[in-house]
């Protein structure tokens, strides 16, 4: 009799644990298929993972982070919240999202995938010639994609000497525009 009651207790415990596990799975699945309803995230083996399969979503995050740096002073060779040059700004913003990009604007010439200006998205990078030499000398991040009327956020050494938003249709930038690239 003692043997049968031990088996019954073990079976009851096993069924109880099984129901608890299945209930937890069902509860987790009921929350948007295992996804958080507030963000595009999923838990994988107790680790929160951002699902970055949508370039636009990551582009929005990049632009929003960059907007938080508006007004930061221009500093030659700067790459911190104390001050940026143009490539230091792009490097800092992308590095925040663990995306490796070159540190120098001239190194962007053969970096990323060239895209038509009509197809730019938030977070794409615009390349410009230097005002004084025939090399890539300035870069910025697309913040409002509208083809050749796109706005971009960048650190300028011009009159403003800070991180600003500028329209690509501004003649000085239209004339120096080389190409748009995507690195996302």
* pLDDT score recorded for residue 184: 85
What whole-number distance in Å separates Cα of residue 100 and Cα of residue 111? 11
Per DSSP, the three-state class of 44 is: strand
- What is the structure's pLDDT at 100? 97
Q: For residues 129 and 109, what is the distance between their CA atoms, to the nearest angstrom?
A: 10
For the chain (184 residues), the mean pLDDT of every run of 10, in chain order, is: 60 64 53 40 39 67 97 98 98 97 97 98 97 95 98 96 98 97 94
Q: Angle at which helices 55-67 and 86-96 pack, to 10 degrees?
A: 120
Q: Are 100 and 151 in contact (CB under 8 A)?
A: no
53-74 residue pLDDT tens: 455 589 999 999 999 999 999 9
pLDDT per residue over 146-164, tens digit each? 999 999 999 999 999 999 9
Q: What is the DSSP letter of 59?
A: H
Supply the pTM of this predicted model.
0.70
Alpha carbon of 81 to those of 86, 87, 112: distances in Å?
Answer: 13, 13, 25
């Amino acid at each position: 009799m003692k043997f049968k009651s031990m088996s019954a207790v073990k079976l009851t415990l096993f069924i109880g644990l099984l129901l608890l596990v299945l209930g937890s799975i069902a509860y987790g699945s009921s929350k948007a298929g295992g996804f958080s309803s507030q963000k595009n995230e999923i838990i994988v083996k107790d680790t929160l993972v951002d699902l970055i399969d949508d370039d636009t979503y990551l582009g929005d995050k990049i632009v929003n982070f960059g907007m938080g740096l508006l007004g930061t002073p221009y500093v030659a060779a700067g790459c911190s919240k104390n001050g940026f040059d143009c490539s230091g700004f792009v490097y800092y913003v992308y590095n925040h999202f663990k995306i490796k990009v070159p540190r120098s604007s001239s190194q962007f010439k053969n970096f990323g995938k060239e895209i038509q200006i009509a197809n730019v998205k938030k977070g794409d990078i615009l390349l410009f010639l230097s005002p004084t030499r025939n090399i890539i000398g300035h870069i910025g991040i697309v913040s409002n994609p509208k083809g050749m009327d796109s706005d971009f956020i960048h650190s300028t050494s011009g009159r403003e000497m800070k991180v600003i938003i500028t329209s690509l249709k501004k003649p000085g930038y239209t004339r120096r525009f080389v190409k748009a690239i995507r690195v996302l």
